[in-house]
Structures are given as C-alpha cells and as structure tokens.
Structure 1
Amino acid sequence: MRFAFFQTGRSASSEETRTIEVAVQAGEAWLDTAALDLDFELRPETLLALGAAEHAAIAHAARRSHATVDLATVTLLPPVAPTARIFCVGLNYADHADESAMARPAHPVIFLRTLDSFVGADAPLVKPRASDAFDYEGEMVAVLGSGGRRIAPSDAARHIAAYTICNEGSVRDYQLERGPQWTMGKNFAASGALGPWLVTADEVPLLGKGLAIETRINGERLQAANTDQMIFDLPAIIAYLSEAFVLRAGDVIVSGTPSGVGFARKPPRFMQVGDQVEVAIAGLGTLRNTVVAED
C-alpha cells in the first residue's frame, strides 16, 4: 500500500498552517482518504501505527471510492508526520567512506535533521546563497510504526512500518570545511527532499534488503548501488539508536548514501540551479526535484 501526503492551494513553503491530507494508491489512481468510508481516523500521526486489519479496511473502502486526487496538481509533502524525528546515518557504505577519505566506522554515525530542511517530491530544492558546494545523496528511508527502548536486532522488522526515499542535499563547505559541522551542513532550509510517498513494509523486501538505488542529475547516473552494501543494516541501526533514544512511531531513519557523491569526484560535481535531480530505488519509486536559487 502506498500513501502520499499533500496539501492544496498555496505553496507548502507558506507560513500559513494548513491541514496535511493523505492519499492512498488504488490501482493507477490516487484517492483522497478523507472521503473514504472508514470507522477510524486516518491522519499522518496515526497512519504508521495501523495494522493489517486497518490496511484491509482502507483497501476495501478505496474500491468503492471515486474521490481521486491528481498528484500533479497538489503540493506533495515529505511523507512523514509533523512530529517526526529524523535520524540520519553517515558513512554507511564502505565505498562512500573510502571516497570521503574517512575511516569505515565501527559503530553507526548518527546525526539529526529537522523536518523543515526537507521538501516533498517535485518541490524546489533550494541551493543556499552561502554555498557553491551543494551536494546530492540518494538514500533509502525506513519509517517506524512502533517504538521502544533497547530493541534487539532480531525484533527490528516488526518496528518498521514503511519506506520512502531521500535526497539528503548536503552543504559540503559548511559540513566539512567549518568543523566538521554535520548539523549545520545538513540542515539548510529546503535543502533535502523526502518522498514521493510511503510504501508499506509488507510490499518491500524484508528490512529493505537488496534494493537497487540510483541518483541521476539531468539523466546522468552518478550513484548506483544496492542496499545490501550498507555497513550497518536497519536492525543494527535501530538497535543502536534505541540504546540512547526511546524510539516512537513516526521516527524516520535515513540509512546512508553510497559512493558517487559530488564532493568526492574529480573535479567535484555539485547540484546547480536548474538541475533536475532524481533518486530511484527499486520498488519505492523515483524522487524528483529541480534545484532553484535561494531568494
């Protein structure tokens, strides 16, 4: 099952607070879940905790609904709850650590991003005025449906509700030359993207294993890897995070990028204004954004 989060009307960058709406895919169509005949409320904050019975009820109601949504005419949002905590993993592919001239980590390298540093699919990625080193990073994302503390790796799968795609959009001069400062370099407003939708875990290979991932700029393939190449798989990441954090439903895990990033190329290749950037992951879809200049 696939769910997209969207808003209608003015741009999602507006300071006006508006309701986040949810669409569900039914065949080739997308349906507004607000119009479905359900005996439970379907909101971004509660969607990830739904079980098989609720998913079956949604599918049944969708077969009788004609309340379609044209995703091309709405503003797609990052498909995560407004309260989501976004945990990111650095240097999680050996070849990326090598190209970065950094040691392969013995433990997951964790940092946090804010939700307002991300846009949804088809929204503009904003190249900061302060930098000419705006880099791409294609990554698989897992979203938790339940939380806990000290989660064993063997229990990790039951905590994952869905998957999506990330282009992390790193500002390398702030990240690497001024520190390193990962929090600064990874949190410029609207510098990353999440989307285009959530794919529930039952439609994805267990623990997101074996998925081909590519990043393209203007059609040129710059990253190509497989999620099997991660140093730390999702069970290891979830177990490690839950040593410190009380994880909760809705938490987001951005699992790391493979080699091929722009700053490691000779010469460097960074995202420029007008570039169309795509991250494609098998079974999850394609996240597409165009780079614009900061106002």
Structure 2
Amino acid sequence: MKLLTNRRMFLKGTAAAGIVAASGVPAFARDGALRWGSSSLGSSGYVILEAMANVTNKHTNLHNAVQATAGTTENFALLGSGELDIAHTTSIDWVAAFRGDKPYPGKIEANQLLSYVKWLCPPLVHKDSDIQTIADLKGRKYSASKPGSGAAALSRILLESAGLGSDGRDVDWVYGGWKEVYNNFQLGQVDCIFGIFTNGAPIGLITQVNTAVPLRALEYSQDVLDAAIAKNPGILVADLTPEDWSALEKPVRSPVFTGILGAATSVSAEDGYEIVKSVLDNVEEVKSFGKPLAGVGLEAAVNNLLVAYPVNAGAAQYYKEKGVWRDELKIAS
C-alpha cells in the first residue's frame, strides 16, 4: 500500500479513524534546518523536544527548528513522508508504524536516537466518582488529549483490550489540548482523564486538579494489560506508588510507555552523532528546561531503546565510545 505523501493527506486519511489533528499547527516548510516534531503546546513532549533542539543548536553547527504537532502518531507519519527529520515518538508508535497498523497506510521505517522518559499512565477520575472500574467507563466521557497523540493511541489499545469496543469506541471520546481537557475534567465535563506521571512524578496539571478536586486512579487488570501487550509490545507495566504520588493509598498497576527521539532514515550518521552527543554531553543543561527532562541520562538513553528497531549509526557510535552500547541492539545500515 502506498504511503500518504504529505501532512494534509495524512490528516484526511486519519479522519475516518477519528485521528484528526487540531487546526492551527504550523506548516512544515523546509528552510535548511532539521525539522523536529514535538507534540501539542505545553505537553511534556513539547517541552522535551524544545529543550533538546535548543541544546543541539547551541553546541553544534546544526540548525534545528521545532514544530508543535498533534502528537506522536502524526509525527511518525511525517517522518515517513519526509516532512519531519527528527521527532518525539513513543515505544508504541514504533510497533504500529513498522507493522503498518492503522492509521498508517503502510509500513513506515525510522531510526532511533535516544530514549528520554517513561510515562506511567493510569486513568484518573474524581475521588467521589461512581466510576470504580475500567468497565464502568462504558458510555462515559474520556479524554487522552488529541487524536494524533501517543496517549490516545495507547488508550485505544487498552480500552479495546478491556472489552470497551474496537479501538475503545464504547467510551465517549473528548479531544483537546492537555490544559483544555484537564480543565474540563476538573469542572466535571469529562468523567475520566488519561493520567500522566513523568518518570513517576505527576504532571503539573494533575497536581493542580488534585488540589481543587481530589482524584483517584483506576487500575487495569493484569489480564487486560497482557492482552494489550500482545497487541503492541511497546507497552510496559509498572507500579505507581504512594511515594510517587501522595494521593494514592496503595500502589496501582499502570501501563507505561517510553519516549524515544526518532530520526528519519534520511538523517545521516554524522547528524545523528551530533544530536545525541550534544544532548547527553550536556545533560544538566537539558534538565534545566524543566521536570519532564528529569529522566534524561546516558544509561536511560540507550537502555530504553527498542531491540526490534534500528539505531542511527552515529548514535550507536556515540554509545560505543561511552562504553554503554547494548550488543542486542541493531545499527541502521
């Protein structure tokens, strides 16, 4: 099947699947800079990509321009169509894109550069909500930000695995930017929200809402998580604990996905080396951009890369020089 060749065609093609990015995203124009795709404005992915691109601009001769996007699902499509060079992606995107799962119209290939974050993501409801289990979400308003986001893609897999219809169609999906949907959730206009705990720490919006309206985390059963992992092995599992978030009374089993900086196959080994070196040689400077960058580090950068997918040859060279390369990883040709 032929790949869609531009962003407009991707958005048109994904509309039928309910994955349409919000309007107002900047156009992707080539001006000599490497084009980086982040995520929706204000999201942790947006902050992370801005930080890494800024540090790379400062410490290399590369020119990097960051574009806000609808999220990681769209980013992978834009890597495949040649409209992005570098992109914020998640572990679940790699599995879906390389298999050509919907909404992708065919197999899309890319190369990994570095991993930078783990997100634990239990669904959240108001503490006094009558929603007690995942099954209770049937017919209720649920939001995981924009339809092109990794959060929405992961939610569809999880909710389908929980018996809530194909792609989670038995819930009433509400789309919007993170700030918008969390505000609506606080006001009771959304029943359940996709929780985001960056490296275990709640994002600011969760802290803000929990101050006004006490929250409670729902838990997926292990059977549901196992079924979701069978559909997409990019999904991981970990416990969110009261030490991570004081609102919890006991640990909650949570799905996890990781953030991976992806590069189009056209990005050279030389550029890949420079990007990875600039970020990882200047970790403290990168972390100074905010809490979402707390997980950036040399060991995490390589240890959380996916064995099944290629690593840019320049990135691999850097890891070998630092003595942290994993032999089970494969290098892009």
Q: TM-score, normalising length from structure 2?
A: 0.24
Which protein is richer in strand relative to its size? Answer: 1
